[in-house]
Amino acid sequence: MIQTTQIHVPIPKIRNTHVKVEINGVDMTSRVLDSNWVLPCTNGIGTFNVNISNSNGQYSSIYSVGDTVNFYADNSDASILQFTGRIDYIKDDISNSGQFLNIQGRHKSYLLNEFLICYSAEEKETSEILKEIIDKLSSDYGFTYSNINTSTSSMSVEWNYKPFWECIIEIANKAGFDCYVDNDLDFHYFKENSISNTDNAIVEGDNFIRSQDLGTNNYYDKTRVVVMGQDKNGLPIIYTAISSNEDEIRELFIKETSLNTYEKVKSLAESKLLKIENRILQIKTTSYGLDSISPGDNIWIIVPRQKLAGQYKIVNIKHKFGMKVGGWKTEVDFEEFSENISQNIQNLNTTTNQISNNQNVNKLNYSYNFDFLENVGTHTNTKIDIKKGVLKTDGSASGTWVSPIKTLDSNAKAVELRMSGEQTDNILVDFSLNGGTVWKSLKYISTSYTVPTGKSLRLKVEILSDSARLSGLSLLYS
């Protein structure tokens, strides 16, 4: 929503509906019983569904999967292309009321749901990441990015065979941006609530037909987001983002194996919490056809009986047309998806390869991780082989390594050890919560230790053999 103190007085538009539905280049408008043309903002690509009269099966063998379907609609001459897609599924239906052909498909940009991304970046601005993954698409597909704006957010990613549009969602959520692909296959990437569309408005007494679901749904509010990634050794990396207003625990858990550093895990947890801890007003409206709106636009809704007068963000557009519909109408979700909110929350999550085993059975909130890919800590007869990512002795029979101090936000209550390497029976690990003055030993088990009070977390590793190797170390804590 765009916050404004302006008074908006919309000028009614002339409604002179002209619509055309083309299937494989042929005008089938007069045969359309009902149809839906859906264009979401950020959360996915568009879909369509068309039902046409098919008396005596005259169209049953005419169309094929992959054929193009176009929907034109405006208030002048049906020249504005609102949706173009390809057929995925053709169903021939017969009932007591007749024979019908149901045609379903996706937006022209459907390949973005088929293409998998392998890509990594370190602290790169989000629009640059977006452009670089678009460049991985074949030029034959025809995608362009002339409408991508620069953000002020940078992020690190490690994506292995991740669906393209899931990458888009992660990028957009991080930056606070929206994204969609238009009918010319051009990407639009822009700051949330930055586009004010005053060409269209939904006004009671003019084009407004009805509204639904006005309100704020608290059911899916969360007070904390727990994100689990994993390092190169498969050890868990955990961060829990907790709302400052939490008075009862309402959790969302995300597994994302491509997050391989603590900073990446923390960033995702905090960005997700911002999305879902304070849900905002949502509404769905149905109006006579709106011919010049796009996903992510903020348009005016003026419904005096509901005390609505403001610019609200479009998150989903559904054009509806057909004899059963009564012409052309536009159904719009504002601010939040009104239908299937649970799916909306799921879309906020990152869908990834699952971490196969339960690596945090006691639900500890954070982790302190070392993958030994950089030289950190204090050595006594030990060294880190950065190329191999291992901690070992310097050739001595034994040695000791002490980690840097990690200052916690609050006193730790419990800890657990995870480690990987060779001959780990010859490796001992201690921890301290006062910076190293007092040490307590740890064992590689899944039982939480009760710990002394303290915020200055430090680890000590004793290697008792010159052939032992430590390749990963993770201390889970709450």
pLDDT digits (tens, 9 = 90+) for 78-128: 999 999 999 999 999 998 889 999 999 999 999 999 999 999 998 899 999
In 3D space, the residue among 224, 220, 223, 222 whose CA is nearest the CA of residue 238 turns out to be: 224
What is the rounded distance in angstroms from the CA atom of residue 315 to the CA atom of residue 295? 6
What is the rounded distance in angstroms from the CA atom of residue 264 to the CA atom of residue 258? 9
Which pLDDT belongs to residue 345? 42
Phi, psi of 217 (to 5 degrees): -90, 110
Confidence of residue 354 (pLDDT cuts 50, 70, 90): very low
Owner of token pair 């050739």: 395
Residue 273 has pLDDT above 60, yes or no: yes
In 3D space, the residue among 172, 177, 181 whose CA is nearest the CA of residue 195 turns out to be: 177
Burial of residue 46 (number of CB atoms within 10 Å: 0-12, 13-18, 19+): buried
Residue 398 has pLDDT above 90, yes or no: yes
Residue 445 has pLDDT above 60, yes or no: no
Return the structure tokens found at 209. 């037909």
Higher pLDDT residue, 259 or 315? Answer: 315
CA 208 to chain centre: 32
Which pLDDT belongs to residue 449? 64
Distances in Å between the Cα of 148 and the Cα atoms of 1, 7, 125, 395 are 21, 31, 12, 54
Q: For residue 251, give every residue at least 6 positions away whose Cβ sits within 8 Å of its Cβ, in sequence order, or none.
A: 222, 223, 224, 225, 226
Which pLDDT belongs to residue 259? 84
> What CATH class is the domain 18-110+197-212+280-344?
mainly beta
CATH of domain 361-478: 2.60.120.260
Residue 352 has pLDDT above 60, yes or no: no
For a pLDDT cut of 70, what percent of the chain falls above it? 93
Q: Is 300 left (phi over 0), alpha (psi -120 to 50) or beta?
A: beta
Vertex 170 angle, CA 169 and 174, to 5°: 115
Owner of token pair 């890919």: 373
In the CATH hierarchy, which fold is given to the domain comprising 221-278? Phage tail proteins - 2 layer sandwich fold (3.30.1920)
What is the rounded distance in angstroms from the CA atom of residue 261 to the CA atom of residue 370? 9
- Long-range CB pairs of 59-66, under 8 A, 24+ apart, other chains included: 59/31, 59/101, 60/92, 60/101, 62/24, 63/23, 63/24, 63/87, 63/90, 63/101, 63/103, 64/90, 65/89, 65/90
pLDDT digits (tens, 9 = 90+) for 300-319: 999 999 988 899 999 999 99
Which pLDDT belongs to residue 201? 93
Which pLDDT belongs to residue 277? 74
Residue 158 has pLDDT above 50, yes or no: yes
Confidence of residue 4 (pLDDT cuts 50, 70, 90): confident
CB environment 139-151: b (16+ within 10 A), e (fewer)? eeeebebeebeeb
Which pLDDT belongs to residue 6? 72
Q: For the residues of 389-423, what is the DSSP string, one character each?
A: TEEEESSSS-EEEEPPPEE-SS---EEEEEEEEES
Helix (H, G, I), strand (E, B) or coil at 205: coil
Residue 336 has pLDDT above 90, yes or no: no
Listed range (9-13, 150-154, 408-412) with the worst mean pLDDT? 9-13
What is the rounded distance in angstroms from the CA atom of residue 444 to the CA atom of residue 236? 14
| Residue-range domain boundaries for the chain | 18-110+197-212+280-344, 112-191, 221-278, 361-478
Helix (H, G, I), strand (E, B) or coil at 433: coil
Half-sphere exposure of 464 (CA within 13 A, CB side): 7
Element (H, E) at 326: none
Q: In CATH terms, are 112-191 and 221-278 the same topology?
A: no
CATH of domain 112-191: 3.55.50.10
In 3D space, the residue among 189, 196, 210 whose CA is nearest the CA of residue 299 turns out to be: 196
Phi, psi of 92 (to 5 degrees): -100, 110
What is the rounded distance in angstroms from the CA atom of residue 328 to the CA atom of residue 291? 10
Confidence of residue 344 (pLDDT cuts 50, 70, 90): very low
Which pLDDT belongs to residue 256? 82
Listed range (17-31, 150-164, 348-362) with the worst mean pLDDT? 348-362
